[in-house]
């Protein structure tokens, strides 16, 4: 009987490979009595489905509502086929027949079913590399598409007969789980520099004991090595700081479970969701009960994550401490280590014990970092768990566009159709090691996604290594102003394609007048921008060097506004410094010697932090602004004055008032609050002013300065109260890690407009 039976081809694109999608389709086909087949191919997943209209309807509804947790369906297209009368439903072998891509799954935290199998499956008792189609490594082990075991770093491991049975059994949870493994056939951990006899499935007991004894361990993870130690043991944590030569930058911490997190941190519903997500990012949380003081170093937030690999759970089972420091296994400023011999030679200078395993990490990936503001997750570092899933943009054709990114916290992006594929977090492109990682990743991404470079977008900065790299490709290249790219990134993320009012606040970016910009108020779209207002530029004595010495920037502001008088005014931050040191700086300013002008918002935050004696020298990027934010007294509603001269936002009055507050011994927490409130007030006032002039009601907030939770949170709330539509970053970092998306959008729009005008000329 084939009466009323029909045949359809269903084509699904999106993140549907390596996430258990085909077996899922198989199971719901059985459930809905659908006959036909499913296959993976370069375009995603194709299904041939035969059944009645109502069966097909329910089948498609199930595809949407029951899909595996890590799957994302970007599109589902249905077309009528000739009815053939299949007698069963089958999974066809992967075919590879076209040049369009499908998505590669990011790595997925170990699932609850697998954690349970650790205790019950005879061949996987305590097996730390357990995984299934719903969880486990993906991006970090993949070498080529389609995603199949032989194209991953699992290739050298031959499946044992038991695993093979599961792998080929369509109803098994490990059907086609490419990294499938067990105690008999899979990767094993080993201790590199310690003479110890142990069973491979006991390694977590050794690690737990050593942590409890105050030792530092280098442990190989999915995307790279980590250094771990007891977060409640001050001696261990400060020893890690000494050995890693990491003076004050806070450490991330892995907590045993959600109960531990709730006990120690203030945590909202969205923060809970982010922590528990299969992506397992580090989430910035507000401290309630501190770990050892050397963990967060006086900041009021800590980066927290939950266990993501089976071994993490196993270690916590044997620990009495509830949290471990969990920081990248690298030497400062170098990419996280993925090479076992380098780990043994280099990381062993920091760690007492190096624990490795015998599967290669193909793609390096740091832990991702997010924060939650106004109950929305905002990504700060987009890497493991997120990459390489594309950020979708549908505005322009991005095909063949390479966006080189900026310099700090670099990521680059490749354009495929309307998709933008972001690289993992590469790091600061300031040394050979990081540049090598950049070049290697460009090659690997290009190969993996069959990318053919036709058009290049890079930062306008003459000296960024990413810009050098881009220019050397010798392809048509568009150089894009840094803050224009920041704004375009936020616009593209939200699908905006019109003129907006935009605040791009960050530390530094090359301006078209050759000075350093970073306190920028633009009216702009992808095609261009008008610089409507900007922070008052000050000389930066020593150029880039000032980021390490916020006191110099403070001095520069005060010297500009109040002259030499300020040197005798008895300000604590100046009195604490050597007189000759101060003299050198003012002489540099007077002689205009290595004193580039900067309107960077980051520098203004630096100056206020130094002036109020919160942070006068900085040991890591943005330390002063972070400390300034950290000490805000949120009940303090006061603010300072500023004024506008033509296009310049002048802070003379604000500094005058801050000095007055310091003389009155006002607490730094009040000065900080009033300063932040001033920044918010300025955003509101200028938005209103520009709206009055232009009629534009959409406001974009972007740039690294908007990683400041207080500034972003309050600006959003108050702008909305004034009736503005507000757009800030969520899926792409507001820092320079998000620049590549803006470069891509501007380049794609530019290419399209020149194509149109080319056509017009014919
Ligand atoms: Zn699993
Ligand atoms: Zn096996
Ligand atoms: Fe920037």
| Selection from 715, 707, 732 nearest residue 677 by Cα | 715
The secondary element (H helix, E strand) that includes residue 652 is helix 652-663
* Ligand 1 centroid distance, CA of 163 (Å): 14
**Cβ-proximal residues to 339 (8 Å cutoff; 6+ apart), any chain:** none
Kindly state the percentage of the chain with pLDDT values over 70. Answer: 96
pLDDT of residue 760: 46
How many angstroms is it from 182 CA to the middle of ligand 2? 4
Strand positions, DSSP E, 221-322: 225-230, 253-255, 265-266, 282-287, 301-305
Write down the pLDDT at residue 761. 43
pLDDT score recorded for residue 69 = 83
For residue 167, the CA-to-ligand 2 centroid distance in Å is 10
Region 584-592: what's the mean pLDDT?
97
Confidence category of residue 68, pLDDT binned at 50, 70, 90: confident
Q: Which residue has the higher pLDDT, 18 or 176?
A: 176
Exposure of 270 in the CB half-sphere (CA atoms within 13 A):
11
Q: How confident is the model at residue 115 (pLDDT cuts 50, 70, 90)?
A: very high
- CA 230 to centroid of ligand 1, rounded, Å: 28
Flag whether pLDDT at 21 surpasses 70: yes
pLDDT bin (cut points 50, 70, 90) of residue 81 is very high
> How many angstroms separate the alpha carbon of residue 130 from the centre of ligand 1?
7
Q: In this model, does residue 327 exceed pLDDT 80?
A: yes
Is-contact 216 239, C-beta < 8 A? yes
Task: Give pLDDT, residue 758.
Answer: 63
Contacts of 130 (CB under 8 A, 6+ apart): 110, 114, 115, 117, 118, 124, 136, 181, 182, 310
Q: How high does pLDDT run on average in the chain?
A: 94
Ligand nearest to the CA of 733: 3
| pLDDT at position 503 over 60 | yes
What's the mean pLDDT in 30-48? 90
pLDDT tier at 757, thresholds 50, 70, 90? low
CA quadruple 435, 437, 443, 445: dihedral sign = negative
Chain-centroid distance, C-alpha 70: 18
Cα of 98 from ligand 3 centre, angstroms: 38
Over range 360-364, report the average pLDDT: 97
Alpha-carbon distance 88 to 90, whole Å?
Answer: 6
Reply yes or no: is the peptide bond before residue 146 cis, omega within 30 of 0. yes
CA dist., res. 211 & res. 230, Å (int): 6
pLDDT in tens, 249-306: 999 999 999 999 999 999 999 999 999 999 999 999 999 998 999 999 989 999 999 9
Chain-centre distance of CA 628, in angstroms?
23
Residues 566 and 109: their CA atoms lie apart, in Å, by: 56
- Tell me the CA–centroid distance for residue 544 and ligand 3, in Å: 14
pLDDT at 417: 86
Q: Which-ligand-closest: CA of 165?
A: 2
As to burial, measured by CB atoms within 10 angstroms (0-12 exposed, 13-18 middle, 19+ buried), residue 349 is exposed
| Domains of the chain, first to last | 6-91 (3.30.70.100), 189-357 (3.90.870.40), 390-480+736-762 (3.30.420.360), 538-679 (1.10.357.160)
Q: Please name which of 179, 133, 115 lies closest in space to residue 314, comparing C-alpha atoms.
A: 115
Q: How far is the CA of 516 from the centre of ligand 3 (A)?
A: 11
pLDDT of residue 692: 98
Does the pLDDT at position 387 exceed 50? Answer: yes
Q: How far is CA 552 from CA 112, 540, 548, in A?
A: 53, 8, 9
What average pLDDT score do residues 127-154 get?
Answer: 93
């Amino acid at each position: 009987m084939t009466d009323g039976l029909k045949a359809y081809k269903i084509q699904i694109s999106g993140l549907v490979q390596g996430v258990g999608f085909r077996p899922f389709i198989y199971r719901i086909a059985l459930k809905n009595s659908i006959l036909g087949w499913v296959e993976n191919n370069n375009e995603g997943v194709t299904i041939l489905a035969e059944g009645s209209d109502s069966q097909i309807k329910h089948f498609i509804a199930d595809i949407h509502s029951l899909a595996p947790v890590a799957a994302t369906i970007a599109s589902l297209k249905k077309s009528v086929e000739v009815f053939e009368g299949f007698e069963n439903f089958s999974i066809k072998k992967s075919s590879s027949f076209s040049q369009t891509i499908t998505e590669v799954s990011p790595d997925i935290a170990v699932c609850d079913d697998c954690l349970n199998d650790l205790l019950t499956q005879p061949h996987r008792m305590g097996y730390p590399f357990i995984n299934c189609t719903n969880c486990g490594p993906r991006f970090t082990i993949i070498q080529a598409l389609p995603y199949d075991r032989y194209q991953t770093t699992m290739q050298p491991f031959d499946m044992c007969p038991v695993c093979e049975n599961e792998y080929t059994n369509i109803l098994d949870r490990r059907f086609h789980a490419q990294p499938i493994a067990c105690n008999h056939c899979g990767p094993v951990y080993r201790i590199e520099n310690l003479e110890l006899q142990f069973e491979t499935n006991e390694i977590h007991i050794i690690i737990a004991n050593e942590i409890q004894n105050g030792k530092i361990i280098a442990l190989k993870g999915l995307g790279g090595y980590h250094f771990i130690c007891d977060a409640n043991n001050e001696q261990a944590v400060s020893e890690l700081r000494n050995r890693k030569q990491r003076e004050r930058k806070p450490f991330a911490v892995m907590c045993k479970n959600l109960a531990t997190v709730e006990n120690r941190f203030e945590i909202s519903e969205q923060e809970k969701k982010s922590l528990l997500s299969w992506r397992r990012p580090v989430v910035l949380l507000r401290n309630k009960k501190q770990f050892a003081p050397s963990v967060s170093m006086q900041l009021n937030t800590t980066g927290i994550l939950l266990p993501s690999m089976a071994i993490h759970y196993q270690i916590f089972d044997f620990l009495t401490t509830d949290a471990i420091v969990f920081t990248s296994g690298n030497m400062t400023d170098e990419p996280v280590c993925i090479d076992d011999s380098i780990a043994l030679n280099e990381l062993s200078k920091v760690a007492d014990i190096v624990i490795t395993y015998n599967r290669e990490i193909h793609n390096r990936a740091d832990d991702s970092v997010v924060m939650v503001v106004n109950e929305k997750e905002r990504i700060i570092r987009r890497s493991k768990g997120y990459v390489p899933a594309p950020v979708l943009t549908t505005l322009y054709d991005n095909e063949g566009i390479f966006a080189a990114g900026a310099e700090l916290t670099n990521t680059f992006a490749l354009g495929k159709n309307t998709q933008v594929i972001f690289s993992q977090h590469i790091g600061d492109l300031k040394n050979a090691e990081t540049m090598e990682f950049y070049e290697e990743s460009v090659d690997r991404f290009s190969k993996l996604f069959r990318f053919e470079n036709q058009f290049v977008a890079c930062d306008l900065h003459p000296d960024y290594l990413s810009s050098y790299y881009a220019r050397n490709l010798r392809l048509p290249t568009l150089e894009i102003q840094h803050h224009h790219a920041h704004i375009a990134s936020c616009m593209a993320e939200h699908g905006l394609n019109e003129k907006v009012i935009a605040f791009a606040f960050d530390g530094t970016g090359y301006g078209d007048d050759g000075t350093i910009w970073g306190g920028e108020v633009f009216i702009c779209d992808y095609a261009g921008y008008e610089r409507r207002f900007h922070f008052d530029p000050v000389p930066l004595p020593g150029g880039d060097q000032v980021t390490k010495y916020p006191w110099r920037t403070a001095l520069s502001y005060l010297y500009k506004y109040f002259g030499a008088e300020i040197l005798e005014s008895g300000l604590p931050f100046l009195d604490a410094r050597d007189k000759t040191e101060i003299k050198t700086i003012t002489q540099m300013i007077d002689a205009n010697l290595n004193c580039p002008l900067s309107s960077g918002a980051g520098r203004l935050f630096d100056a206020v932090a130094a002036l109020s004696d919160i942070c006068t020298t900085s040991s890591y990027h943005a330390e002063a602004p972070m400390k300034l934010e950290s000490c805000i007294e949120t009940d303090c509603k006061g603010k300072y004055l500023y004024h506008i001269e033509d296009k310049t936002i002048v802070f003379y009055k604000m500094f005058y008032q801050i000095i007055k507050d310091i003389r009155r011994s006002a607490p730094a927490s009040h000065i900080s609050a009033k300063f932040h409130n001033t920044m918010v007030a300025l955003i509101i006032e200028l938005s209103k002013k520009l709206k009055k002039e232009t009629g534009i009601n959409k406001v974009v907030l972007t740039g690294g300065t908007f990683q400041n939770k207080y500034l972003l949170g309050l600006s959003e709330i108050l702008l909305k109260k004034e009736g503005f539509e507000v757009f800030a970053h969520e899926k792409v970092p507001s820092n320079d890690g998000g620049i590549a998306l803006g470069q891509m959008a501007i380049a794609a729009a530019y290419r399209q407009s020149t194509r149109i005008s080319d056509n017009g000329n014919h």
